[in-house]
Structure 1
């Protein structure tokens, strides 16, 4: 069954809602270097992670500054660390190794521009870019969209055909993000067959506030593709 991560958790109500709906993982955006609606300080993140029940994975979404990433991993003790910044590929392997030493797994996105459709990576070939990320030792690859104004939560989809090619090209579990909602996630899962899906703005109304109807509809749409 396709795993579901709901990201941008910012209140205790969000935690209980998303767990009740059936999310396998919750994402907490912590001390992110870009101004986004879901950003938490580490104290608030710790409080929310403490009320997340057993068997639900806690993922911190962080970026760029290595000392901050490691400090947050040491303090918050997440199950996984999502490196969602502009970390150079040459430095990512060492950072991943440190995260592993602290007992967490590491996730890394390959992001596609909503303006051009091209991958935002030093390597412009998306298949090669995906393989370069795989070679850093990360535990999963996320495919996401990015705009000039927002590093995630753009509401825009990536190319599902290309996503399927990348899934077939790498050995890593592939997590599909970018523009997913209850109306399209079933088709996305059928087309890409990812290990998991990751949603943020697609289950909100307004942005920054999880909408119960949208959360439950999203999970049900994914469950409808099971088997």
Structure 2
């Protein structure tokens, strides 16, 4: 089961550290003697947080010599040192020989609107760090001469390419917050995320509500990733049979959200759902009437939102009667009414591959829908 690690960086106080611990973060980050950062602490302040913390603390150090790093480590005794700036590769080997701790390195991508990057050169740099003994890599953003702590995102497609090129854990940093962490994780699939400003009220002051929301979003995306099923359907019959299993397992109040372009197989899958529900009428697309109703083991409500002008049309339709009633709702073009979908539902994404092939991605939200996915497997 996949679990994404969380490092809350820029910790400036015991109170802030406690907030991270209570939220079940995996690591705390403390900047030490980093003059350009508003979140930087001195050695004594950092040591107090290390001694208090029940979870690993990483000390972040910027462009320091091996001797300086060793001196600070000896004073603080953190879980590890996280090196910022431009670290000479030979320094990693020296530090591995001198320190009994984790050594993390940051590499930098430009902010999305601020220049190109040589991907192959970046891969070589990361591999050099890895070969020299780095225990983890953090991909962060550089913006207008500031390395990290920018609150800006980089190109996540490039970040994903970098993550896939190495074996050591890779954390994604740079502009991550509760609103975009789901997208970041699904797009990059990092070992973990590393952030500061995304959960702050102001620089150096952490917001408990933002921290809570961040962790909730991460746990939700973990649930999604761990239970998602991807199937390559090679025929109309295979797509219909998947729907048939869903129909047989469906329960009163089931909502099946069907997402995909024209011709991707949404109606075909719904026909299978109808068969699984013992519906004997022929199921057609309800595009021009918005909703068709069929009698079966449970009522089937087949909704097509393709022609809806706005969410107001769904309110006029009385969608709650379908979503929370005693039947099964299969809704095509569900992405158009995403805000109205219940907390628990089954999402089915269909993608046209060829005349006969469809890529079908099934995501359950809620244990009863997980049971359906397990039955399809």
TM-score normalised by structure 1 residue count? 0.90
Q: 2:143 matched to 1:143?
A: no
Give the conservation status (yes or no) of the 8 Å contact 2:8–2:20: yes
Which protein is richer in strand relative to its size? 2
Q: 1:158 to 1:104 in 2, by over 3 A?
A: same
Give the conservation status (yes or no) of the 8 Å contact 1:3–1:196: yes
CA shift digits 1:112-135 (9 cap, x unpaired): 12232437xxx9722222212212
CA shift digits 1:49-89 (9 cap, x unpaired): 11112xx1111001222222111111111111101122223
Cα distance between partner residues in 1 of 2:88 and 2:137: 16
Q: 2:38 matched to 1:37?
A: yes
Q: 2:167 matched to 1:166?
A: no
Q: Which residue matches 1:14?
A: 16
Decide which structure has the larger Cα Rg and report it.
Answer: 2
Cα distance between partner residues in 1 of 2:162 and 2:18: 34
Q: 2:64 matched to 1:65?
A: yes
CA shift digits 1:142-201 (9 cap, x unpaired): 100012343211111122111111111111111111110000011111111111110111
CA shift digits 1:16-67 (9 cap, x unpaired): 11111111100010112x32111000001111111112xx111100122222
Cα distance between partner residues in 2 of 1:90 and 1:116: 28
Give the conservation status (yes or no) of the 8 Å contact 2:150–2:175: yes
Q: 1:102 to 1:93 in 2, by over 3 A?
A: closer
1:180 aligns with one of 176, 184, 189:
176
Q: Which residue matches 1:2?
A: 4
TM-score normalised by structure 2 residue count? 0.55
Deviates more, 1:141-150 or 1:163-172: 141-150
Cα distance between partner residues in 2 of 1:82 and 1:117: 26
Higher relative contact order (CA 8 A, sep 6+): 1
Cα distance between partner residues in 1 of 2:126 and 2:145: 24
Structural mapping, 1:1-227, within 5 Å: 1-32=3-34, 34-53=35-54, 56-66=55-65, 67-95=67-95, 97-98=96-97, 101-114=98-111, 115-118=114-117, 125-226=121-222, 227=226
Q: For this pair of structures, how many residues does the alignment match?
A: 218
Give the conservation status (yes or no) of the 8 Å contact 2:61–2:82: yes
Cα distance between partner residues in 2 of 1:140 and 1:2: 14
Cα distance between partner residues in 1 of 2:53 and 2:110: 33
Cα distance between partner residues in 1 of 2:59 and 2:127: 23
Gaps spanning 5+ residues in structure 2: where?
A: 227-377
Cα distance between partner residues in 2 of 1:47 and 1:158: 33
Cα distance between partner residues in 2 of 1:131 and 1:29: 25
Deviates more, 1:142-151 or 1:213-222: 142-151
Q: What's the offset of the Cα at 1:205?
A: 1.4
Q: What's the offset of the Cα at 1:91?
A: 3.1
Cα distance between partner residues in 2 of 1:31 and 1:215: 25
Cα distance between partner residues in 2 of 1:124 and 1:38: 33
RMSD of aligned residue pairs (Cα, Å): 1.7
